[in-house]
Structure 1
Amino acid sequence: MEFHIDMPAAGSRDRFAALHRQIRAAIIDGRLAAGVRLPTTRELADRLGVSRNTVLAAYEHLATEGYLQPRQRAGTFVAGAIPPRGHAAPPSNPPGPSLAELPDAWRRVAPWSAEAMPPGPRFDFRVGLPDHSQFPWDRWRRLCGHAQHDFARAPRAYTDPAGDPLLREAIAGHVSLSRAVACSADDVFITSGAQHAFALLADVLVTPQATVVAVEDPGYAPLHAAMAFRGAQLQRVPLDKEGLRVDRLPPEARVICVTPSHQFPVGAAMSLNRRAQLLAFARQHQAVVIEDDYDGEFRYGGRPLDALHSLDDSGLVFYVGTFSKVMFPALRAGFVVAPAWARERLAAALHATQGAPPLLTQLALAAFIREGHLARHVRRMRRLYAGRRDALLQAMEQHAEGLLIPLPSAAGLHVSAMLAPQFEAYKVARTAAEAGIAVEALDRSGLRRLRYNGLTFGLGLIGDGEVTAGLRALVKLLG
């Protein structure tokens, strides 16, 4: 080869890439004609001052791409038929599609930023995050160790994509006792959190650009996104004091997404009468319902309403649960309780996509549930959160009269309150953040910001002795 090859300085990690790129370019441009014999790997390595392994790797890569043809005991030759330019490796910095070419749903997504969750605010009322300090970490570590030990004794290659049978059985028992969801292990499908569950159900239930999906307004934005990203036609449906306005559901809706136990983010529970209306609508219009029961285990006072799934006798409800609120979000474990007719579809979708969480995590979680640790932890945290909730409501009554009006809520990890009309929730939240008070605007995803001009207060991260002080600091900002 008489053409010049520029190599990066010794020690550079780009030497293989540079050699590969320049030989390929010479073949494409015709400077190395078909049939030309290349130097041996040792000869070229000595000439360029690189390791023989670098040249050998470049030759092998070019051969797999069809540019070179090794011949036993004869050497390496330029291939007789050069691949078309379209098969050449892409440039190091290929241009991406313009924003206009991306699906509309993806173009509206704001990139995640660590700034969205600033560390260490003085008063932390962020929503959806549980208190980790009371979690039985020692027991969890012990169970993780047992799972690893058991797996080492009898390792498995691939597991059921629907989830380990022990965990599916444990969850079936757990939701039956805690939420009156009657199901068997065969009905339970393990997911990597609730977000994975929503994406999985969208894959199974949504026909792109055709399926109308009704969602609560305001509602849980990540659920809305999971449906929109898969081509669903979203229809936002308003709420009233009894929950989703069934009379405002579009008749063409084929999927209806609700949070009946503790509406997110308003906080109300869907009334029994409204639940019956919703199921009647689904039967009449051949629709299915996705019930997101994200923190229904935490109920304060009175007998909790059974899950919507418990009232369904027609196989219309997909019940979605998560362990992020009752244990910790990093666990990334959730589940779907599905009607019998959908089992094969869900199993196929899980097999073709992400599948369940790692097996060792599933085995430890199954033991955590089976040995009663989860139920005890939920009871302990229910008392803790109830105390924080009572303190927050009392502080609003004593220090924020006329400024914050709490919305009715008897469950969950957050309390929402309407702001006095002279304030704007988004501005208040920004001002509070600058003062070290992490609180969120009530309506972060809906279209009725004037109607839901309020704030949402999480109970998971605010310390027991900080609730009143945090509320008073916020009131002082409101002036």
Structure 2
Amino acid sequence: MDLHLSIDPDQPLAAQLYRQLREAILGGRLQAGERLPPSRYLAERLQVSRKTVSEAYEQLLAEGFTSTRVGSGTFVSSLAQSAAPTRSAATSLLQPAARWRRLPVAPFDSPVQGWRYNFAGGTVSMRRFPLAAWRTSLQYALRQMSQGSGFYAGVQGQPALRQAIARYLALNRAVRCDWQDLLVTQGAQQGLSLLAQVMLEPGDRVAMEEPGYTPARSCFQSAGAEVIGVPVDDEGLRVDLLPANVRLVYVTPSHQFPLGMPMSLARRLALLEWAREHRVLIIEDDYDGEFRFQGRPLEALQSLDRHGLVAYLGTFSKTLYPQQRVGYLLMPPGLHEALVQAKLLGDRHGDSLQQLALAHFMERGEFARHTRRMQRLYAERREHLLLRLQGDLATWLQPIVPMAGIHLAALLRPGVDPERLASEMRSRSIGLDSLAAFYQGPAQAGLLFGFGCIELDDLQAGLDELRLALQAACQ
């Protein structure tokens, strides 16, 4: 037998040898009945002491992975081989619940950093993040934690951060908010998951915008709900087309995802009245409402709620950076206790270091300064993008001009082959999402242009490459 084994002299030798031989047995590289090398031979080959090899062999024997025959040596046990997992057994004996098998593959789980021209939606660049100021806040948070008890923190999140978020929402989003009603989450997606847990039973119906945010749809489906897409128009969700007997409605009223239009005041009032009449929860996902480029800012839907029907979701992924994984949920009074219990059972609480640092970052005014800087930067990128979409790219694309957010949608004009265009974009390393990914039913052909993480020079060069791709997709 010539089995490849490697030994790190800086680690315990017998333990290393035991683990490698055990993995070789369980992985099938050493078959049942196969004889292990004599301890003297293996010790010379690996340049270790014979005692080291003997210790590893003794442990394998004690655990039943090997057996000995007097005068013959040490052999792989047949019982150990039968315990080895196989790929076919792993995929056939256990299956997830049926609703999980029906879910589509998560659309946003593929890496986006490989694209030369990255127009991915919902992402921002770390190049513009004030790392020096953030380092100061992290150091402050470390000092605070060093003075603490080391016990678990409160389920709802650090009070200092919840108070800072409440002040921010009141001033910037006109949200009526008591900080004690805020739940700090691991991004907005966890807030969605918690709401689905406490509101939905298998077979319940959920209404959401069509097209809409695919991870939200998958979240509700994973809870066993039937998700019904409701069309949108220039004023947002068509409230008159909401189906009967739904448990909740999911909307993005400040900046409809992915098309970009805001929900009009008339529609907001109509939706609230409809929810009051039918006793339905409204989930308001205000994912990037901080960035507004024209028109008077519309108040949050939650600010119009007088009956405790709106759960307000927000995130710092678009204002700071996605890897931070800090979001927040303003809980309706009737769901407060259940949501806190669901959070407790899920992960108890989030990262206290990040939360304390973020609270300090906001209290010192760094968050507001950073947001203002990014507002100016995104406005410039948006302007350049629209100039091109309404200029030399207008032959193939019809942009839907948004008033807010860090992405915009553009519809493909007739004559462009979407499949051929997708192939051409891949070949030119252009990272652009298709609008079709956000539809549950028949889709409009179009593209989603994110401008949060692409620098202006790359934006222009990427649009030059896109023009060539569009020309090729029409030939």
Worse overlay, 177-186 or 92-101: 92-101
Contact 2:18 2:59 in 1 (8 A): no
1:478–1:55 distance in 2 versus 1, CA, 3 Å: closer
Contact 2:236 2:263 in 1 (8 A): yes
| Alpha-carbon displacement from aligned partner over 1:292-350 (angstroms, at most 9, x marks no partner) | 11100000122210111111111000000000000000001101001122111111111
| Alpha-carbon displacement from aligned partner over 1:277-300 (angstroms, at most 9, x marks no partner) | 111110111101001111000001
**TM alignment of 1:56-455, pairs within 5 A:** 58=63, 92-93=85-86, 94-97=89-92, 102-110=97-105, 116-121=111-116, 123-209=117-203, 211-450=204-443, 452-455=444-447
Contact 2:207 2:228 in 1 (8 A): yes
Worse overlay, 426-435 or 247-256: 426-435
1:427–1:280 distance in 2 versus 1, CA, 3 Å: farther
TM-score, with length taken from structure 1 = 0.80
Q: Does 1:13 align with 2:26?
A: no
| Alpha-carbon displacement from aligned partner over 1:394-435 (angstroms, at most 9, x marks no partner) | 112220223111113100010111111212445423321211
Contact 1:105 1:225 in 2 (8 A): no
Contact 1:16 1:57 in 2 (8 A): no
Q: In structure 1, what is the Cα distance between the partners aligned to 2:342 and 2:432?
A: 38
Residue identity matched to 1:49: S
Query: Which runs of no fewer than 5 residues in structure 2 stay unpaired?
Result: 6-13, 27-50, 65-81
| Alpha-carbon displacement from aligned partner over 1:146-180 (angstroms, at most 9, x marks no partner) | 11122112233111111111111111111111111
Contact 2:258 2:438 in 1 (8 A): no
1:360–1:57 distance in 2 versus 1, CA, 3 Å: farther
Residue identity matched to 2:98: P
Q: In structure 2, what is the Cα distance between the partners aligned to 1:342 and 1:113?
A: 29
| Alpha-carbon displacement from aligned partner over 1:72-103 (angstroms, at most 9, x marks no partner) | xxxxxxxxxxxxxxxxx965345344697642
Contact 1:191 1:355 in 2 (8 A): no
TM-score, with length taken from structure 2 = 0.81
| Alpha-carbon displacement from aligned partner over 1:362-413 (angstroms, at most 9, x marks no partner) | 1001111121111111111011001111111111222022311111310001
Contact 2:435 2:447 in 1 (8 A): yes
Contact 2:18 2:60 in 1 (8 A): no
Contact 2:316 2:322 in 1 (8 A): yes
Residue identity matched to 2:445: N
| Alpha-carbon displacement from aligned partner over 1:10-66 (angstroms, at most 9, x marks no partner) | 71316679999xxxxxxxxxxxxxxxxxxxxxxxxx9x933599379849xxxxxxx
Q: In structure 1, what is the Cα distance between the partners aligned to 2:332 and 2:323?
A: 28
Question: Could you say what secondary structure the match of 2:292 adopts?
Answer: coil
Q: In structure 1, what is the Cα distance between the partners aligned to 2:304 and 2:62?
A: 64
Contact 1:19 1:55 in 2 (8 A): no
Question: Could you say what secondary structure the match of 2:347 adopts?
Answer: coil
Contact 1:265 1:443 in 2 (8 A): no
Residue identity matched to 1:186: Q
Residue identity matched to 2:193: A
Contact 2:115 2:430 in 1 (8 A): no
Q: In structure 1, what is the Cα distance between the partners aligned to 2:60 and 2:421?
A: 63
- Residue 447 of structure 1: CA displacement? 3.6
CA RMSD of aligned residues (A): 2.9
Residue identity matched to 2:450: G
Q: In structure 2, what is the Cα distance between the partners aligned to 1:475 and 1:112?
A: 26
Q: In structure 1, what is the Cα distance between the partners aligned to 2:55 and 2:430?
A: 59
Q: In structure 2, what is the Cα distance between the partners aligned to 1:97 and 1:19?
A: 22
Q: Does 1:459 align with 2:454?
A: no
Question: Could you say what secondary structure the match of 2:127 adopts?
Answer: coil
1:424–1:448 distance in 2 versus 1, CA, 3 Å: farther
Question: Could you say what secondary structure the match of 1:380 adopts?
Answer: helix
Percent identity, please.
38
Contact 1:99 1:107 in 2 (8 A): no
Contact 1:433 1:439 in 2 (8 A): no
Q: In structure 1, what is the Cα distance between the partners aligned to 2:83 and 2:346?
A: 27
